[in-house]
Amino acid sequence: MDSQLMDKEVLCILDTRQIQRFMFRSNSYVDTLGGSDLLNHVLEDGILSALQSVDPPLKEDEYDLSLDPDAPIPYFENEKVLFQIIICTAGNAMFVARTGRLAQQIIRKVSRYYIDHAYSLNMAAAAVEKTGNLGYDISELYRKLNNAKTSAVISDPLGALPVVLREKRTGLPVYDRDKERGDYISRASFIRRQEAQKRGKVISLNELRTTKGANGKNYRAVLHVDGNNIGITIGRVLQQTPDYQKGIHTRRRINGNLQRLYEGIMKRTLAQLQEYYEGLGRSDPDFAHEFQIIHNSGDDINCMCNADLAFPFLDIFFANLEGGCIGEVDGRRIPLYCCGGISFVTEESDFHTAFKMAEECCESAKKTSKLEKNLRDGLAGNWIDFQICESPYHQELDMLRLKSYVTDTNVNLALRPYCLDEVAKDEEYAYGRFRERALALHSLKRKYGMRWLNHLAENYSLERIVYLSQIYRLKEKGLNLEKLLGAPYYKDENKDIFATWFDALEVLPFIPEHTGSGEGGSHG
């Protein structure tokens, strides 16, 4: 906290850092579920605890924690109210305080609460002097927060000398022995497992079903979905309502809209996915063995499922997403856009690695969506990326693709990520084009077999002239692949060359041949 802010009224933000790292640090499925559930309430609990333990403790009539967008905001009507929450979500909170000194105490108390109740969770904070313009203050606040996050070092509490017994999964000092499982666990795992027990029965990782890949190995899929433009939308809306009271009501309404929108989308998506699943003729009534939500909070979704349900889930999710609105600016509705990432992993793959790769695929999609040429009215659109992980150990996505997906003749085998937006429907990287290729490849598989399609993919490593000549010879024999699949190569504006069929060939075993009765339609 800047010394000049100690006696001034301040606007503050608390931002939980590296949530994905916290949730998926352990390779334990149960620990991850517990960490996910903990994140949903630990910040709210920490703020209440801080208010009650500052010196002197605040009385109930000296703070307001209501998040109701229609409720009065007592802070602006009663000077006795020293603390006013603005928003509090899973991992992010904003508040105003009468003095920077009080805000500093609260920040320190919440940080301590994180150590005591989440152990390895990190937090960044920033504060600015409150003016009469909420939009301006928030802009300055995020600037300071970004500077703080750039300079801060992520660290975990040591907890013990290096000579003590350490947990195998994380390397953290052992805290106790799990009475149910018998393994020695760290304090972090102890806290997570306590939280996971509140769920009741948990489907174990080994109980989740798999799909056989082209190499004969069994695969699961991990999905990560993240919203785009949330900060931009909030900034645009708040520019219209600089007044603090109106701005707080507006910000809460946006958060409420976002939460209700996601809840509705996920409820419809899961119902339609189960209908789709049953439409495939699968008789197991326990759908939980096919699809599990690991974390669903705000605009952040993590799931794990049978590999052949990943693309149907995203098809249905994005179909339900279409038309969703998170705010209005100048009478124009601001749509909700999302990016998704899928990692297909074998049964022996490290649990943390699987989610890390899914997150990197989502980041790849978001990075492409934010390129100037891809923006929609200044907003990033809907994109997805995916990756098959043959190795059970983590490999950085860009390096993996450079090593495994660029041929000796500089052809990029991976055309992904793909755009789901209608405006891109005629582009080679349109998601609808990708799905059309997959359906056409299924028709070829029925006639020629998967081994023939594997050769078609492997031959992409040959020189283009050789590959094109093979395709021409097949055309002479009556098999016109270009008519079925489109051109085999795509050249972008930078004159880089991409294989257009390879993506669909590689993940074909994970794309169901039949649509089932519940699928939500195609895009782009």
Local confidence band at 119 (pLDDT 50, 70, 90 cut-offs): confident
Decide if pLDDT at 427 tops 50: yes
Does residue 178 contact residue 26 with C-beta atoms inside 8 Å?
no
pLDDT in the model for residue 517: 41
Q: Which of 24-33, 48-57, 162-171, 286-295 has the lowest mean pLDDT?
A: 162-171
Local confidence band at 67 (pLDDT 50, 70, 90 cut-offs): very high
SS3 assignment, position 1: coil
Per-residue pLDDT of 480-512, as tens digits, reads 999 999 999 999 999 999 999 999 999 999 998
Local confidence band at 235 (pLDDT 50, 70, 90 cut-offs): confident
Per-residue pLDDT of 138-151, as tens digits, reads 889 988 988 888 77
- The mean pLDDT of 276-301, rounded to a whole number, is 82
- The mean pLDDT of 71-79, rounded to a whole number, is 93
pLDDT in the model for residue 520: 40
Query: Alpha-carbon distance 370 to 347, whole Å?
Result: 34
Q: Rounded to whole angstroms, what are the CA distances from 383 to 324, 365, 429, 511?
A: 16, 5, 10, 18
pLDDT in the model for residue 294: 86
Of 132, 178, 244, 134, give the one whose Cα is nearest residue 28.
178
Local confidence band at 97 (pLDDT 50, 70, 90 cut-offs): very high
Query: In CATH, which superfamily holds the domain spanning 205-510?
Result: Reverse transcriptase/Diguanylate cyclase domain (3.30.70.270)
Per-residue pLDDT of 357-410, as tens digits, reads 999 999 999 999 999 999 988 889 999 999 999 876 777 899 999 999 999 989
Q: Which CATH class is domain 3-151?
A: alpha beta
pLDDT in the model for residue 522: 43
| 316-348 exposure pattern, b = at least 16 Cβ within 10 A, e = fewer | bbbbbbbebebbeeeeeebbbbbbbbbbbbbee
The answer to whether domain 3-151 and domain 205-510 are alike in fold is yes
What ranges do the domains of the chain cover?
3-151, 205-510
pLDDT in the model for residue 296: 82
Per-residue pLDDT of 241-285, as tens digits, reads 778 898 899 888 888 888 888 899 999 999 999 999 888 777 666
Local confidence band at 174 (pLDDT 50, 70, 90 cut-offs): confident
Of 82, 63, 96, 87, give the one whose Cα is nearest residue 15.
87
Q: Which of 84-93, 276-285, 315-324, 335-344 has the lowest mean pLDDT?
A: 276-285
